[in-house]
Structure 1
Amino acid sequence: MAGKKNRSFGNVRTLASGRFQARYRGPDGRLRNASMTFATKKAAERWLTLKEAEIVRGDWFDPDSGSVRFAEYAEQWVEERDLAPRSADLYRSLLRLHLNPTFGDMLLKDIKEPHVRAWRASRRKSKVGKSTLAKAYRLLRAVLNTALRDKLIRENPCQLEGAGQEESEERPALSVAEVFKLADAVPPRYRALVLLAAFGSLRWGEAVGLRRRFLDLDARTVTVREVAYELGGVRFGPPKSKASRRTVQLPGLIVDDLQAHVDAFANPGPDGLVFVGERGNPLRRANFSQYWQRARASTGLPGVRFHDLRHAGNTFAAEAGASLRELMTRMGHSSTRAALVYLHARDDRARELADSLGERAARELAESADRVEEDPDEADKEAAAFDEPDEDPPSAN
């Protein structure tokens, strides 16, 4: 090696290959090489000038930062957050099935936008559900946002427009008659579960985790304070958010069904579960799904999901005149965006509103015509009034 030249900041030396290497001492006192070599000495010196300016501006970035495997950092990310058990389970599932196979062994600093774009394209080709893919992308973006704040990466490579948006297909709301058809079609042990999910706007975990002391049939209320989630076995924990902790008023229509269910099937005592399996164990999706599938088939509603019962109940509440705030409280949502999803009325309700609007307009039009016939002179005066010049606008002073 020959040809070493000292500078006030850094130095350039000639390598045996004939290329030039730039070196500098960073703010941390460590001597560092440029990440590449240069064809000319001038190019190497120009790089050192830019690096010096970067340090002076306070924009210097430690090139060794981000030398952490994504899988390790993501697991730590999950551990450090105060997540509900179900959320933590979901994140770990997304990491295991969708993110770590591609990014797990990559260093944070090596993950670039083209990698993210290629990952998303491959997931779409493998027919991963749109909702699942959007959740996985949002998790990747959140983990890397934290890495950005930790100054482990210069920028977040998750810059794909719309990749984190869930484009779930809008589902039609069940009618009241269809809800009762489904309730009639499941075994008697689960009839009240169907009705409460619909008319109480409860999620599966909220209904399955309900204890007797939180169901007040005299006051006609159900209170959500604990939810069931499946992680190995059925476990119980707090609701996923503060807004989910709520008390929902129930219609008298289903109180008798609920009372009959509690008397016949609920576990005893104030902490007894309201909905259990035939042996008194916590209810699991897999056990209930066989009855739900049969009920759907027998009622001619093969595509209905259990969650559609909650959607139907929210729609019933909206059609009954609930305000947006009342819907948010009833549903356990803290954002208006989430609540608005359930404000879409059924086609027949929209038609009913349109007919009501037309009838009202027709009545007012008829009343106006009657006034003209009774007092034509008054009508002429009203018509003439439109020819009068407007009054002077009020003074700005």
Structure 2
Amino acid sequence: MAHAEKVFKVKNGKKTTKYTWRARYKKPDGTWGSEPGFPTRRLAEEWGDAQEAAIREGRWVDPELSRKKFGSFVKEWMAAQKPRGRTTMNRWERLEAHILPKWKDTPLNALNWFDVEAWARELALTVARSTVRDCVQLMSRIVNGAVDARHITANPLAGRRITGLPADVVKKKPVEDQVAEPEVVLQLARRLGPAYGLHVLTTAFTGLRWEELVGLHRDNALLERRQRHDGGIFTCPVLRVDKEAGALAEYYKRDEEGRRRIFRGLEPPKNETSARDIDLPPFLAEALEEHLKAWPFEWVFCTPTGKWWWRSEWFRIIRPAADGRDARPKARGTALKEGWDPIMPGLTMRALRHTHDTWQAEDDVNPVLAHEQSGHKYPGIKGTYQHPTPVMRQYRLDAFQRRYERAMRNLGWESVWGSGPPNIS
């Protein structure tokens, strides 16, 4: 049964006549717990009785655990999570750059929405609002973990929404800078030449994510879809994002001492719907077939030496092609480079994926098929009851083929590659 004990204060190494009361109560494992600092015996006993009542009812939280520092619990929570490697990396970046400098020494039971929201508004003065929201959501998930681990009784951040954030300090791209015209895609592809330009064409006309593009093995290229239709079989060539190893992951891992180590390798796609077969319009299937005839490597979209692309290295390739560059004369140790006018400054592979999905909407591709081809789950009950059909697939392929042929006519071209690839070194 809970009871109280006197605790005499000590001054200069000697016990004084002043004292406070310490509550003593029986913990679930049979040992005695204690909590000091009560001004009266009655308050100490009431607090101890409340602990024992909570233990009997199965809702007790150890006061020592509730005082654990947020930073200490973060390490436990992160160690218990098993998300994809890049997700883990992104979480640590948010924690180390923004969250832990402020909250690492705060006890779990001292967290409250008032302080967190005030901090979030201050953080929004220096980073994007999306980053602020990501940080608060991550904090809330961690505190939920503390509740589940019986460190605290409730999450004060759960269900709360940040309001009154200042204007975003990071300027977003205008919408028109995130969607490319087909003529722009073709011009950029020609400038890069067949080996590199096919990266651009394929992303714009299939919607492949970067990690799916560079992780595509030639064994998964130009496969055939076969689907019953109208008394026969509908067929079309496809690219397959493999469910076992369909994406190239690039991130850093941490060892037990917190040191970073770069990881690059194939992993399953980010979710179940990302593993898919992507239908190819005729022009793109022909271009890929010609590419693979001459390409000696196992990866369809790789460096000229057969290695996986680093994101940073591909950035060095696409930036001057899209943004333009100054001419460089031939000199000792350096090759001649022709000057390039800008085609679409700031264009990225992600913007080309945006372009693909926007084209699908513009061409009235059935939403169920558009979601499937982009690797997204169609929301709601319709995503369960509706399925892509050969009629839908052929309509989409015809629309992309027409888009390509119209752009070629507008440019006055007969071949995407022209007379051959330029010098992009």
| TM-score using structure 2 length | 0.65
For residues 32 and 210 of structure 1, the distance between their equivalents in structure 2, rounded to whole angstroms, comes to: 59
Indicate the structure (1 or 2) with the bigger Cα radius of gyration.
1
- Matched residue, 2:363: 320
- Matched residue, 1:21: 21
Kindly tell me: are residues 155 and 201 of structure 1, through their superposed partners in 2, closer, same or farther at Cα, counting changes over 3 Å? same
For residues 41 and 120 of structure 2, the distance between their equivalents in structure 1, rounded to whole angstroms, comes to: 42
Tell me, yes or no, if structure 1 residue 182 matches structure 2 residue 188. Answer: yes
The alpha-carbon deviation at position 237 of structure 1 amounts to 1.4
Indicate which of 259, 282, 287 corresponds to 2:313: 287
The alpha-carbon deviation at position 315 of structure 1 amounts to 1.8
Tell me, yes or no, if structure 1 residue 227 matches structure 2 residue 231. Answer: no
Tell me, yes or no, if structure 1 residue 276 matches structure 2 residue 298. Answer: no
- Matched residue, 2:65: 65
For residues 122 and 187 of structure 1, the distance between their equivalents in structure 2, rounded to whole angstroms, comes to: 48
The amino acid across from 2:160 in the alignment is E
The amino acid across from 2:264 in the alignment is V
Kindly tell me: are residues 241 and 103 of structure 1, through their superposed partners in 2, closer, same or farther at Cα, counting changes over 3 Å? same
For residues 280 and 324 of structure 1, the distance between their equivalents in structure 2, rounded to whole angstroms, comes to: 37
The superposition leaves residues 243-283 of structure 1 with CA deviations (integer Å, 9 ceiling, x where unpaired) of 1111111112322332333334x443xxx111112332211
Tell me, yes or no, if structure 1 residue 251 matches structure 2 residue 281. Answer: yes
The amino acid across from 1:60 in the alignment is W
For residues 35 and 190 of structure 1, the distance between their equivalents in structure 2, rounded to whole angstroms, comes to: 70
The amino acid across from 2:4 in the alignment is N
- Matched residue, 1:10: 3
- Matched residue, 2:216: 210
Report the 3-state secondary structure (helix = DSSP H, G, I; strand = E; otherwise coil) of the residue aligned with 1:186.
helix
Kindly tell me: are residues 261 and 135 of structure 1, through their superposed partners in 2, closer, same or farther at Cα, counting changes over 3 Å? farther
The superposition leaves residues 331-386 of structure 1 with CA deviations (integer Å, 9 ceiling, x where unpaired) of 1123639xx9xxxxxxxxxxxxxxxxxxxxxxxxxxxxxxxxxxxxxxxxxxxxxx
The amino acid across from 1:99 in the alignment is I
For residues 193 and 133 of structure 2, the distance between their equivalents in structure 1, rounded to whole angstroms, comes to: 36
For residues 19 and 122 of structure 2, the distance between their equivalents in structure 1, rounded to whole angstroms, comes to: 39
Report the 3-state secondary structure (helix = DSSP H, G, I; strand = E; otherwise coil) of the residue aligned with 1:312.
helix
Report the 3-state secondary structure (helix = DSSP H, G, I; strand = E; otherwise coil) of the residue aligned with 1:283.
coil
For residues 48 and 217 of structure 1, the distance between their equivalents in structure 2, rounded to whole angstroms, comes to: 70
In 2, are the aligned partners of 1:65 and 1:109 still within 8 Å (CA)? no
More helix by share: 1
- Matched residue, 2:329: none
Report the 3-state secondary structure (helix = DSSP H, G, I; strand = E; otherwise coil) of the residue aligned with 1:243.
helix
- Matched residue, 1:171: 175
Report the 3-state secondary structure (helix = DSSP H, G, I; strand = E; otherwise coil) of the residue aligned with 1:304.
coil
Task: Work out which structure has the larger RCO, using CA pairs closer than 8 Å and 6 or more positions apart in sequence.
Answer: 2
The alpha-carbon deviation at position 19 of structure 1 amounts to 6.4
Tell me, yes or no, if structure 1 residue 334 matches structure 2 residue 377. Answer: yes
- Matched residue, 1:98: 98
For residues 254 and 88 of structure 1, the distance between their equivalents in structure 2, rounded to whole angstroms, comes to: 36
For residues 192 and 162 of structure 2, the distance between their equivalents in structure 1, rounded to whole angstroms, comes to: 39
**1:49-60, aligned counterparts within 5 Å?**
54=54, 58-60=58-60
Q: Which moved more, 1:181-190 or 1:219-228?
A: 181-190
Name structure 2 gaps, 5 residues minimum: 10-16, 225-235, 252-261, 324-340, 384-425
Kindly tell me: are residues 233 and 64 of structure 1, through their superposed partners in 2, closer, same or farther at Cα, counting changes over 3 Å? closer
For residues 72 and 53 of structure 2, the distance between their equivalents in structure 1, rounded to whole angstroms, comes to: 34
- Matched residue, 2:231: none
In 1, are the aligned partners of 2:190 and 2:197 still within 8 Å (CA)? yes
In 2, are the aligned partners of 1:220 and 1:255 still within 8 Å (CA)? yes
Kindly tell me: are residues 33 and 76 of structure 1, through their superposed partners in 2, closer, same or farther at Cα, counting changes over 3 Å? closer
Q: Which moved more, 1:136-145 or 1:196-205?
A: 136-145
**1:294-309, aligned counterparts within 5 Å?**
294-297=320-323, 298-309=341-352
Name structure 1 gaps, 5 residues minimum: 1-7, 341-397
In 2, are the aligned partners of 1:20 and 1:44 still within 8 Å (CA)? no
In 1, are the aligned partners of 2:27 and 2:52 still within 8 Å (CA)? no
- Matched residue, 2:88: 88
Report the 3-state secondary structure (helix = DSSP H, G, I; strand = E; otherwise coil) of the residue aligned with 1:155.
coil
The alpha-carbon deviation at position 216 of structure 1 amounts to 0.8
- Matched residue, 1:128: 127
The alpha-carbon deviation at position 306 of structure 1 amounts to 1.7
The amino acid across from 2:82 in the alignment is D
The alpha-carbon deviation at position 121 of structure 1 amounts to 3.6
Report sequence identity in percent. 24
Kindly tell me: are residues 215 and 35 of structure 1, through their superposed partners in 2, closer, same or farther at Cα, counting changes over 3 Å? farther
Tell me, yes or no, if structure 1 residue 141 matches structure 2 residue 140. Answer: yes
Kindly tell me: are residues 295 and 59 of structure 1, through their superposed partners in 2, closer, same or farther at Cα, counting changes over 3 Å? same
The amino acid across from 2:38 in the alignment is T
The amino acid across from 1:130 in the alignment is R
The amino acid across from 1:301 in the alignment is M
Give the total of aligned pairs. Answer: 325
In 2, are the aligned partners of 1:84 and 1:238 still within 8 Å (CA)? no
In 2, are the aligned partners of 1:267 and 1:276 still within 8 Å (CA)? no
The alpha-carbon deviation at position 222 of structure 1 amounts to 0.8
In 2, are the aligned partners of 1:221 and 1:247 still within 8 Å (CA)? yes
Kindly tell me: are residues 45 and 109 of structure 1, through their superposed partners in 2, closer, same or farther at Cα, counting changes over 3 Å? closer
Report the 3-state secondary structure (helix = DSSP H, G, I; strand = E; otherwise coil) of the residue aligned with 1:156.
coil
Kindly tell me: are residues 110 and 263 of structure 1, through their superposed partners in 2, closer, same or farther at Cα, counting changes over 3 Å? farther
Kindly tell me: are residues 65 and 201 of structure 1, through their superposed partners in 2, closer, same or farther at Cα, counting changes over 3 Å? same
The amino acid across from 2:238 in the alignment is T
Kindly tell me: are residues 261 and 128 of structure 1, through their superposed partners in 2, closer, same or farther at Cα, counting changes over 3 Å? farther
For residues 26 and 173 of structure 2, the distance between their equivalents in structure 1, rounded to whole angstroms, comes to: 53
